[in-house]
């Protein structure tokens, strides 16, 4: 557990350090995957069905606000629908405007969920989206989640009926009627819309309660509720649902949700504190849940090379600093000796001169006379 906490802290520190580079990169990857999904499931207009176009649009979206990614995806859908017929493009445009006007404008800060909904179905993990929205967002995210479900099933319906829509057997009203019936009479789509909205609301409701382990309880409850709604709806609407795959993919979604809870929340409920205090107007009851953290020590390694130290020592021994006090004393002593030298030389000259003036013969005769 300690190793996981250290990995979590290092990962958060790395993201905080390089956020200015990682955020555009993540937006680029998301936009590229989303636009590739649109081209893979539609791809009727050859000019738009190109990886070069996808990369250029993803590059533009990574430096612009996230809402640009949504509108670019809508433009691609309308363009591919126009290749099937102007009626299909008009119906797609009306459907998009209907969603924007009625409920997407109330969740402007969370409309990125609309992009994740088709991708969740594409990766066979539909239960992951409502559980994740309930954990990381508010209850309002149920609106774009429902819109993403409608977009996914309508795109899939167009792909199934593409040959009929491109043919000349149906007139304009016939194509519009076909599209309207495919949207309104799609029981599987409405079942998933209901499941997504209910799971998002329930998960968000449990997650915001003050009970211990609320996040994990919300994740498990969301997965179980999704399975129950899908099974009950399949019997009520007559929709065929594979029970084995539904349970397996929902369990995988729950496990991913628990991993998400560890990295995003990670509360340590064993150290929970409850505080009570008051002021002149209110009583306050506070529950404080500390985050699970571990103290990490920064290690700095200094490499010591013995050969280099010996070379530096030799150089320092050979180099003399003439500003040192030792050398200043020597200089002073040299000056003193230089001053004494002329005096000594003068004394020796005087002594030498006195010795030359002595008459040794006369001194010898005087000493003999005394004898």
Q: Give average pLDDT by consecutive 10-residue segment, the chain, 371 residues.
A: 78 86 93 94 89 94 89 93 91 91 76 90 91 89 92 92 82 89 90 94 91 89 94 86 89 92 80 84 83 63 57 56 50 50 48 53 65 55
Q: DSSP for 164-233? A: HHHSSSS-HHHHHHHHHHHHHT-HHHHHHHHHHHHHHHHHHHHHTSSSTTHHHHHHHHHHHHHHHHHHHH
**DSSP state at residue 320:** -
User: Residue 357: its pLDDT value, please?
Assistant: 54
Query: What interhelical angle do 172-184 and 142-160 show, nearest 10?
Result: 130
User: Residue 66: its pLDDT value, please?
Assistant: 84
pTM of the entire structure?
A: 0.75
Where are the chain's structural domains?
Answer: 2-267
Cβ neighbour number for residue 103 with a 10 Å cutoff: 15
CA distance 156 to 216: 34
CA distance 12 to 172: 55
CA distance 248 to 262: 22
C-alpha angle 252-258-261 in degrees, rounded to nearest 5: 145
- Which residues make Cβ contacts (< 8 Å) with residue 117, sequence separation at least 6? 129, 144, 145, 147, 148, 149, 151, 152, 196
CA distance 241 to 249: 13
User: Residue 349: its pLDDT value, please?
Assistant: 46
CA distances from 252 to 45, 201, 255, 257, 328 (A): 36, 21, 5, 9, 83
Structure token digits, residue 4: 């996981």
CB of 213 within 8 A of CB of 223? no
Cβ neighbour number for residue 99 with a 10 Å cutoff: 21
- Which residues make Cβ contacts (< 8 Å) with residue 138, sequence separation at least 6? 110, 204
| Bridge partners, 277 (sequence order) | 284
């Amino acid at each position: 557990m300690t190793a996981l906490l250290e990995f979590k802290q290092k990962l958060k520190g790395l993201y905080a350090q390089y956020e200015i580079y990682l955020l555009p990169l993540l937006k680029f990857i998301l936009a590229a995957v989303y636009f590739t999904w649109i081209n893979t499931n539609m791809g009727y207009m050859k000019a738009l069905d190109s990886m070069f176009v996808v990369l250029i649009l993803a590059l533009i979206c990574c430096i612009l606000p996230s809402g640009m990614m949504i509108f670019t995806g809508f433009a691609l859908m309308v363009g591919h629908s126009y290749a099937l017929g102007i009626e299909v493009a008009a119906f797609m445009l009306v459907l998009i405007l209907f969603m924007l006007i009625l409920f997407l404008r109330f969740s402007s800060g969370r409309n990125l969920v609309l992009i994740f909904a088709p991708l969740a179905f594409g990766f066979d993990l539909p239960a992951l989206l409502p559980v994740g929205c309930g954990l990381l967002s508010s209850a309002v995210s149920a609106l774009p989640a429902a819109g993403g479900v409608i977009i996914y099933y309508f795109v899939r319906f167009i792909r199934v009926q593409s040959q009929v829509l491109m043919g000349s057997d149906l007139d304009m009203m016939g194509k519009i009627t076909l599209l309207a019936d495919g949207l309104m009479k799609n029981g599987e789509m409405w079942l998933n819309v209901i499941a997504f909205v209910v799971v998002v609301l329930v998960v968000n409701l449990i997650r915001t309660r003050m009970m211990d382990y609320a996040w994990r309880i919300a994740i498990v409850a969301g997965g179980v509720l999704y399975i129950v709604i899908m099974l009950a709806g399949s019997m009520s609407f007559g929709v065929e649902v594979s029970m084995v795959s539904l349970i397996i993919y929902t369990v995988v979604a729950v496990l991913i949700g628990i991993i998400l809870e560890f990295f995003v929340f990670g509360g340590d409920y064993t150290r929970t504190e409850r505080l009570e205090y008051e002021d002149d107007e209110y009583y306050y009851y506070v529950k404080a849940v500390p985050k699970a953290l571990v103290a990490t020590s920064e290690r700095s390694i200094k490499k010591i090379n013995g050969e280099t130290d010996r070379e530096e020592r030799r150089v320092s021994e050979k180099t003399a600093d003439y500003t040192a006090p030792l050398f200043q004393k020597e200089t002073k002593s040299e000056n003193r000796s230089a001053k004494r030298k002329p005096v000594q030389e003068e004394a020796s000259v005087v002594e030498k001169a006195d010795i030359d003036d002595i008459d040794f013969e006369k001194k010898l005769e005087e000493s003999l006379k005394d004898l």
